[in-house]
Amino acid sequence: MTEIRLLTEADQQALTIPNEAFPLMGRLVVTRTAEAWGYHEELLPKEAWEEQTFPDEDYQIATVLQKGFAVGAFEGETCVGLALFEMDWLKYVYLADLKVNRQARGKGIAAALLEAGRKEAVNRGKAGIWTIGQDNNLGACRFYLKQGFVIGGLNTNVYRHTQQEGKGDVYFYWE
């Protein structure tokens, strides 16, 4: 059974969960009319899929808790999922990181981490959660939309002059 709980100063080890590869299978194409955001998917043929892995971080629990809070998913003593949230002046808490070990994926752990984070955000006087997903990380974009997040913005300039030029950031909000 998986335990979902807020992390404390004693949980430094939980922050060492590594980033693992995810497939790049297409992109979320975001559109805007005068009334609303919309989107459609551009899928790549399976043989064109690649994998991407974000660099591992060096999180320190004191800094994480100073900026906000963290939620972990534990199977026994092992952390298999992690969500980091940062407080700021907005009425939303920023989801800075969300990851689940590959062998633990597909069990609803990421959704449980988000729900625990949303409840804590509300307890802290916030309206909900906001986060960013790269438009080419279609799996993440699909996940946020499935969880009830709505699109609230698109940044098409953020990766200009970098190796990731051509990608964009989709802004998601969940109350």
Tens-place pLDDT, residues 6-23? 999 999 999 999 999 999
The DSSP 8-state label assigned to residue 135 in this structure reads T
Q: Which tokens sit at 154? A: 């698109």
The pLDDT, as a whole number, for residue 85 is 98
Contacts of 139 (CB under 8 A, 6+ apart): 22, 23, 25
Q: What is the pLDDT of residues 77-102, one digit of tens each?
A: 999 999 999 998 999 999 999 999 99
Record the tokens describing residue 119, joined without a space: 């409840």
- DSSP bridge pairs for 5: 72
Instruction: Give the pLDDT of residue 102.
Output: 93
Q: What does the pLDDT average to over 28-39? A: 96
User: Looking at residues 55-83, what average pLDDT do you find?
Assistant: 97
Share of the chain above pLDDT 90, in %: 97
Q: Which of 100, 104, 113 is nearest to 147 (CA)?
A: 113
